[in-house]
Amino acid sequence: MEKLYIFDTTLRDGEQSLGITLNVKEKLEISRQLVKLGVDIIEAGFPASSPGDFESVQTIAREIKGATICGLTRAVDRDIDVCAEALKPAEVARIHTGIATSPVHMAKKLNMPPHQVLEAAVAAVKRAKKYVSDVEFYAEDASRSEWDFLVQILEKVIAAGATVVNIPDTVGYATPWGYADLIAHIKNNVKNIDQAIISIHCHNDLGMATANSLAGIRAGARQVEGTINGIGERAGNTSLEEVIMAIYSHRKSYGIELGINTREIAATSRLVSRISGVPTPSHKAIVGANAFMHASGIHQDGVLKERDTYEIIDPEIVGVPRNLIVLSARSGRHALKHRLEELGYTDIQESLDDIYARFLTLADQKGEIFDEDLHAVMGNVVEGNGISIKTLSVASHGASTASASVTLEVDGQEVTEAALGNGPVHAVFKAIDAIVGKKVKLEDYSLKSVSQGSEALGDATVKIRYKDNLIVGRGISTDVFEASARAYVNALSKASHLAE
């Protein structure tokens, strides 16, 4: 059986679309989980785009073993040199370079005639090849490129040493049959195609990224690119978990094998959602909260009699436990740790005893502890630089004034400030600003309720702009103002971390 290589670009194509900056620690946490999931290639970033991205790619290249680490470049000498430098510590490195090949991109964006694009493509592959043996070439906007020109350029870059050729549907314009025809045309007409792997990279503008990817695989592609939860530019990238499970469910008809540990899918999805601040819709295929829930009475009855009646995937295959163990004050450290790992807390820095102590406090208050409660337990952990919330009180004075008093512990010192605001959350944030004294702009704030039972938990997300970075903070608490304060302090902590 031939192998299908899974190329994850959550940290590159996914991150660049978020408008937010994930810190190195967050990117490492995602990378470690991607290795557990079994992806073959991790595209860690675009090193020449910023010093921060360079550092992230370099750190991932140094720390992460068990997957090829890849960096993106344009067909520009400096990009390739910088990328090679960042990838130097990697166990196995790949440079992903390329150029646009569609008439509109060549004429309007690059302002280059086709023959010049061809020369630049070949030169880029040759330059990358001086540094690494594994070079992937992308023909940007391939799905809107002229087929003859694509065949010509692919033949030349493969001759120059490209080991993988990526045929992206950059703008999400393709249809399954059109895209399959294109991949088949390349397979049948590029003379030296047997020396390279065909890769596909789709976007979901017409809701067909997964369908197009599967069509491309059927037509002969042996590498698929995408992101976890489908995060990415505009309507997103291909959801890798969808492609993986579509192939798994119909594995006989594809005749290819995957090196994926499907049981890590749910944990990977939750981790990416938690770190990126992008919620997964409840109806999302494979990873949505309702993906394995049966609401209709007829369906429930059927599934109880025989699972196959209404269920095509056993939830356990993707890491959703069938028999949820209900945690309570009687649960031990091991059960807590196990559940936390399932929820994506795979790289816990804090001591388990401290977490367990908070867990017991909450379990005493609530009785049964649900997953959302565990996120709250973990939400108590404020990252990095030693800011934590000691006390918080708010008061409303009519429709548009409120006051807040906040005590924070900053580097071991307790500091209290009070502030007035248009509403209680505004007042809390102003009081925190007065203590922390960092120039940030609040770009977005949202609050939703999670958890079951009467002690609803508030889950707050804030986005702040600090220097040129957009940073996400999250906080969860049974008190909505405390949840908001935690989210804000969490984001400020990350901002401090960036400044160091």
Q: Which residues bind Zn ion (CB under 5 A)?
A: 13
For the bound state, the minimum distance from the C-beta of residue 271 to Zn ion, rounded and expressed in Å, comes to 21
For the bound state, the minimum distance from the C-beta of residue 393 to Zn ion, rounded and expressed in Å, comes to 47
The torsion angles phi and psi of 71, rounded to 5 degrees, stand at -125, 145
CA distance 75 to 123: 8
For the bound state, the minimum distance from the C-beta of residue 14 to Zn ion, rounded and expressed in Å, comes to 9
For the bound state, the minimum distance from the C-beta of residue 397 to Zn ion, rounded and expressed in Å, comes to 50
Nearer to Zn ion by C-beta: 212 or 490? 212
Angle between helix axes 147-159 and 176-189 (nearest 10 degrees) is: 50
Nearer to Zn ion by C-beta: 216 or 344? 216
Q: How far from the centroid of its chain's Cα atoms is residue 386's Cα?
A: 27
> Exposure pattern of 47-74 as b/e (b: 16+ CB <10 Å)?
bbbeebbbbbbbbbbbebeebbbbbbbb
Nearer to Zn ion by C-beta: 136 or 459? 136
Nearer to Zn ion by C-beta: 227 or 280? 227
- By three-state DSSP, how is residue 297 classified? helix
Q: Could you tell me whether strands 164-169 and 197-202 are parallel, antiparallel, or unpaired per DSSP bridges?
A: parallel
Q: What is the DSSP string of 346-378?
A: -S--S-HHHHHHHHHHHHHHHSSB-HHHHHHHH
For the bound state, the minimum distance from the C-beta of residue 85 to Zn ion, rounded and expressed in Å, comes to 24
CB of 231 within 8 A of CB of 10? yes
Nearer to Zn ion by C-beta: 13 or 26? 13
Calculate ∠ Cα 214-219-224, nearest 5°.
Answer: 45
Nearer to Zn ion by C-beta: 13 or 383? 13
For the bound state, the minimum distance from the C-beta of residue 318 to Zn ion, rounded and expressed in Å, comes to 25
Residues contacting residue 99 through CB under 8 Å, at least 6 positions apart: 74, 75, 110, 117, 120, 121, 124, 138, 139, 140
CA distance 190 to 200: 16
Q: Which two tokens stand for residue 193?
A: 């195609």
CA distance 425 to 209: 40
Q: Which two tokens stand for residue 405?
A: 């008093």
Q: Alpha-carbon torsion 381, 343, 346, 3, what sign?
A: negative
Nearer to Zn ion by C-beta: 15 or 134? 15
Nearer to Zn ion by C-beta: 202 or 476? 202
For the bound state, the minimum distance from the C-beta of residue 236 to Zn ion, rounded and expressed in Å, comes to 10
Nearer to Zn ion by C-beta: 13 or 371? 13
- By three-state DSSP, how is residue 15 classified? helix
Nearer to Zn ion by C-beta: 13 or 264? 13
The torsion angles phi and psi of 271, rounded to 5 degrees, stand at -60, -45
Q: What letter does residue 240 receive in the DSSP assignment?
A: H
Residue located via tokens 């069509």? 215
CA distance 348 to 29: 10
Residue nearest to Zn ion (CB): 13
Q: Which two tokens stand for residue 213?
A: 């990817």
**Of 92, 97, 109, 89, whose CA–CA distance to 42 is shortest?**
92
For the bound state, the minimum distance from the C-beta of residue 12 to Zn ion, rounded and expressed in Å, comes to 9
For the bound state, the minimum distance from the C-beta of residue 204 to Zn ion, rounded and expressed in Å, comes to 10
Q: What letter does residue 143 receive in the DSSP assignment?
A: G
For the bound state, the minimum distance from the C-beta of residue 72 to Zn ion, rounded and expressed in Å, comes to 10
Nearer to Zn ion by C-beta: 15 or 155? 15
For the bound state, the minimum distance from the C-beta of residue 107 to Zn ion, rounded and expressed in Å, comes to 21
